[in-house]
Amino acid sequence: MVSRRRFPGLTPIALLLVSFVNVFLVTYVKNVIQELRKERQGYLEVHSRSFNQENAVIERLDHLETYIRNISISMNKPSNEDKKLLQMSKKEMHQKENKLETEKKAVPRILFPDSYLFKRWGTDLTEDQQTKAQELFTKYGYNVYLSDQLPLDRPIRDTRYASCKKKSYPKDLPTLSVILIFMNEAVSIILRAITSIINRTPSHLLKEIILVDDHSSNEDLLGLLDEKIRNYNAKYPGLLKIVRHQKREGLTQARISGWKASSADVVAILDAHIEVNVAWAEPILSRIKEDRTVIISPVFDNIRFDDFDIFEYSVAADGFDWAMWCLYEALPEEWYKLKDDTAPVRSPSIMGILAAHREFLGEIGVLDGGMHIYGGENVELGLRAWQCGGKVEVLPCSRIAHLERAHKPYLLDLSIAMRRNALRVAEVWMDDYKNMVYFAWNLPIENHGIDYGDVTSRKELRKKLNCKSFDWYIKNVYPNLVPMNTIVGYGTIKNTLKEDICIDQGPVPGNTPIMYGCHGYSPQHVFYHSTGEIYVGGLKARRNAVDRCLSDPGTGDLPFLDQCDEAINKGLNMYWDFEQGSSIINRKTKRCLEILRDETASYYTLVMKACTGQKWTIQHTVKDWGRKDALR
Ligand code: UDP
Ligand code: MN
């Protein structure tokens, strides 16, 4: 018996069970939390990578510091301080010790040890200051306590390549409207953005700065901000304008309102929590002067939400996955071949912030005003630009520091808005490939119950502009997205013997799929292909991020998960026969995927064994696959 072999005696059983459950729970809960907290993925993928890198660097520095301290102690060479101590009388020593002791006691207690704000900042704050800082952090998602103290015109490191610094640009360039959109951002943050723009943009090119208030509720964004605008305009007549929404309309509408109010040749539509870097505008303006059809993204650096240090990001192209979370892509080979690191980088999409020829952006339909709150609008613009005769580029010499918040105060779960907006993009721009978006979000293609709003005017726009197909886009612009037309069943898979547990990828890292209580997040998303593969644990369908395929090792009683490309290379038994409501049979070994109830405990294991006729159902099917064969 399977379970006997795995759990040989009673005490070991208990021990094993406890440790298994522990390890599993930790890994599992982490997975689920990750899934739940999935934020705008591009930012997640690269930014979180950078975040980890940063942490690693900090840790390394911490170690280094301790290391150096230890060395200096072990060298036994008395410092001046030590020498003084040596000369002290015993009494004096006691006095000194007491003084140190009271000083130690005076060090404030850390009030919020779990807050991200205090992980590497704020150790010297009094309790009152900590409370204040934490309050502001919760409200804004970044360190407003610190921002309020930093100079508005603080210098930031010039993160451009050396070659960018050598470049010169003609004086005669198109004029620029800069648009800053905001909803309940801190005043000091907005003022620092404005200051950086005024100080780092040639004044003869900067026509106006347009603030768009997406119906903020914070008082200081009314009176106080108006007063600041008047002050700026006293110094720079007519430079600042403000547009206020009468109700909250979301970031896409805010960007559109800014565009409508603008009048210069070029618009740069930015978040309000940014600081532009040296000579950020010249590369944009000269590129648009050369080609009015290019939509531009600058390169972002990260203003860290806690200590406001600038963390440099590498130059990359902007892409997205099938769920439409944005992510960074490696630089294309053709770019390297140019041997000019100031050259524009051809990019499938943008991250959100953009610059474009004002009229051209209007001609191709600005942004999709039907988008709600957050997400999708950037990919929509990317697809529309490419499919309708424009292009998208990242300019390595144009750098903007962008503050990445620890949390979004306006939305706890971005995925609801993201999913809805992604469906708009899929329906308007992706033709037959749109199924991939439904797969990625684990939604049925019909009757999904999600109201993505009216898309007729966007479809008409596509027709009017005579835009190319998504097939053209994927082949010519974004081959890293891999469409899959063999998927016939997807979603969670349940055994008809017990329908509250689902096939699950199991602990990661690890290669053993398991049965687990159904929660329906991506560790339980399974994809069955008409060609026989079974993907488990979400759908990547990207060239450089491989999905995991189920196989039967042929011996032993456990099924196995491996990267699909590896499984092919190793010739694993990875092809299965399955129809809706049938057994899942390995084509090669003829063994079945089944569940087995452990006799000592009330849980089920997922095993490979001689078929006993167990049946499985998958959550969604494509077209008529499997339906005619309903449960037998
Ligand atoms: N914003 C807005 N209305 C909203 C949500 C956001 O105007 O309903 C603004 C926000 O203040 C910010 C910009 O839109 O300046 C982009 O939002 P955020 O920075 O949260 O998104 P991300 O940086 O992840 O793209
Ligand atoms: Mn932002």
**Which residue's C-alpha comes closest to atom 19 of ligand 1?**
271
Neighbours of 42 (CB within 10 A): 25
Distance from residue 438's CA to the centre of ligand 2 (Å): 27
pLDDT band per the 50, 70, 90 thresholds, residue 100: low
Closest CA to 262 of 273, 254, 271: 254
pLDDT band per the 50, 70, 90 thresholds, residue 9: very low
Distance from residue 290's CA to the centre of ligand 1 (Å): 30
Span 111-118, average pLDDT: 96
| Phi and psi at residue 548, to the nearest 5° | -110, 135
Closest CA to 210 of 242, 182, 174: 242
Pairing outcome for strands 266-271 and 176-182:
parallel
Distance from residue 321's CA to the centre of ligand 2 (Å): 19
Convert the pLDDT of each residue in 158-207 to its tens digit. Answer: 999 999 999 999 999 999 999 999 999 999 999 999 999 999 999 999 99
Q: According to the CATH classification, is domain 162-403 in 3.40.605.10?
A: no
Q: What is the DSSP letter of 344?
A: P
Q: What per-residue confidence (pLDDT) applies to 21?
A: 38
Span 470-489, average pLDDT: 96
Span 395-416, average pLDDT: 94
Q: What per-residue confidence (pLDDT) applies to 52?
A: 36
- DSSP readout, 243-300? EE-SS---HHHHHHHHHHH--SSEEEEEESSEEE-TT-HHHHHHHHHH-TTEEEEEEE
What pTM did the predictor assign? Answer: 0.83
Convert the pLDDT of each residue in 303-341 to its tens digit. Answer: 999 999 999 999 999 999 999 999 999 999 999 999 999
Q: What per-residue confidence (pLDDT) applies to 544?
A: 84
Residues 6 or more apart whose Cβ sits within 8 Å of residue 339: none
Closest CA to 210 of 252, 187, 251, 239: 239
Cα angle for residues 316, 321, 322 (degrees, 5° grid): 160
Distance from residue 111's CA to the centre of ligand 2 (Å): 28
Cα-Cα-Cα-Cα dihedral of 344, 345, 346, 347, to 10°?
-130
Q: In ligand 1, which atom is closest to the CA atom of 408?
A: 20
Distance from residue 302's CA to the centre of ligand 1 (Å): 15
Convert the pLDDT of each residue in 428-475 to its tens digit. Answer: 999 999 999 999 999 999 899 999 999 999 999 999 999 999 999 999
Neighbours of 341 (CB within 10 A): 17
- DSSP readout, 476-524? HT-TTB---S-EEEEEEEEETTBTTEEEE--SSS----EEEE---SGGG
Q: What is the DSSP letter of 392?
A: E
Distance from residue 497's CA to the centre of ligand 1 (Å): 48
Both structure tokens of 335: 């770019």
Distance CA 584, CA 50 (A): 42
Both structure tokens of 105: 């006691």
Instruction: Spell out which residues line ligand 1, taking CB within 6 angstroms.
Output: 40, 43, 181-183, 185, 214, 248, 250-251, 254, 271-273, 352, 373-374, 408, 410
Convert the pLDDT of each residue in 543-571 to its tens digit. Answer: 988 899 999 999 999 999 999 999 999 99
Closest CA to 154 of 312, 308, 353, 314: 308
Distance CA 620, CA 602 (A): 28
Domain residue ranges in the chain: 1-106, 162-403, 487-621
Q: In ligand 1, which atom is closest to the CA atom of 213?
A: 7
Q: Which ligand is nearest to the CA of 351?
A: 1
Closest CA to 530 of 480, 587, 611: 587
**Which residue's C-alpha comes closest to atom 25 of ligand 1?**
352
Convert the pLDDT of each residue in 257-278 to its tens digit. Answer: 999 999 999 999 999 999 999 9
Q: What per-residue confidence (pLDDT) applies to 25?
A: 38
CA distances to 31, 381, 414, 481, 544 from 39, rounded to whole Å, are 14, 20, 6, 20, 21
The helix (H) or strand (E) run that includes residue 608 is strand 604-609
| Phi and psi at residue 421, to the nearest 5° | -65, -35
Instruction: Among 140, 179, 255, 271, say which to mutate for ligand 1: greatest number of ligand atoms within 8 Å of CB.
Output: 271
Dihedral over Cα of 563, 564, 566, 572: its sign: positive
Q: Is the pLDDT of residue 506 over 80?
A: yes
**Which residue's C-alpha comes closest to atom 18 of ligand 1?**
271
Residue linked to tokens 């280094």:
64
Q: What is the DSSP letter of 212?
A: E
Q: In ligand 1, which atom is closest to the CA atom of 39?
A: 24
Span 127-143, average pLDDT: 97
Say if CB 548 and CB 505 are below 8 A apart.
yes
Q: What per-residue confidence (pLDDT) applies to 55?
A: 38
**Coil, strand or helix at 552:** coil
pLDDT band per the 50, 70, 90 thresholds, residue 90: low
Is the bond leading into 509 cis (omega within 30 degrees of zero)? yes
Cα angle for residues 73, 74, 77 (degrees, 5° grid): 70
Q: In ligand 1, which atom is closest to the CA atom of 271?
A: 15
Among 53-57, 395-399, 492-496, the range scoring the smallest mean pLDDT is: 53-57
End-to-end CA separation in angstroms for the chain? 28
Q: Which ligand is nearest to the CA of 218?
A: 1
Distance from residue 183's CA to the centre of ligand 1 (Å): 7
Convert the pLDDT of each residue in 273-300 to its tens digit. Answer: 999 999 999 999 999 999 999 999 999 9
Q: What per-residue confidence (pLDDT) applies to 104?
A: 54
Neighbours of 491 (CB within 10 A): 21
Between residues 21 and 262, which one has the greater pLDDT? Answer: 262
Instruction: Among 251, 256, 372, say which to mutate for ligand 1: greatest number of ligand atoms within 8 Å of CB.
Output: 251
What value does the mean pLDDT of the chain take?
Answer: 86
Neighbours of 84 (CB within 10 A): 12
Residues 6 or more apart whose Cβ sits within 8 Å of residue 349: 318, 319, 320, 326, 378, 379, 381, 382, 383, 392
Span 357-370, average pLDDT: 98
Q: What is the DSSP letter of 329?
A: E
Distance CA 338, CA 336 (A): 5
**CATH number belonging to domain 487-621:** 2.80.10.50
Distance from residue 142's CA to the centre of ligand 1 (Å): 13
Distance from residue 501's CA to the centre of ligand 1 (Å): 39
Residue linked to tokens 């898979």:
493
pLDDT band per the 50, 70, 90 thresholds, residue 93: low
**Which residue's C-alpha comes closest to atom 24 of ligand 1?**
40
Cα angle for residues 215, 262, 277 (degrees, 5° grid): 85
Q: What per-residue confidence (pLDDT) applies to 311?
A: 97
Share of the chain above pLDDT 90, in %: 79
Closest CA to 221 of 139, 289, 299: 139
| Phi and psi at residue 130, to the nearest 5° | -60, -45
Pairing outcome for strands 354-357 and 266-271:
antiparallel
Is the bond leading into 332 cis (omega within 30 degrees of zero)? no
Convert the pLDDT of each residue in 516-547 to its tens digit. Answer: 999 999 999 999 999 999 999 999 999 988 89
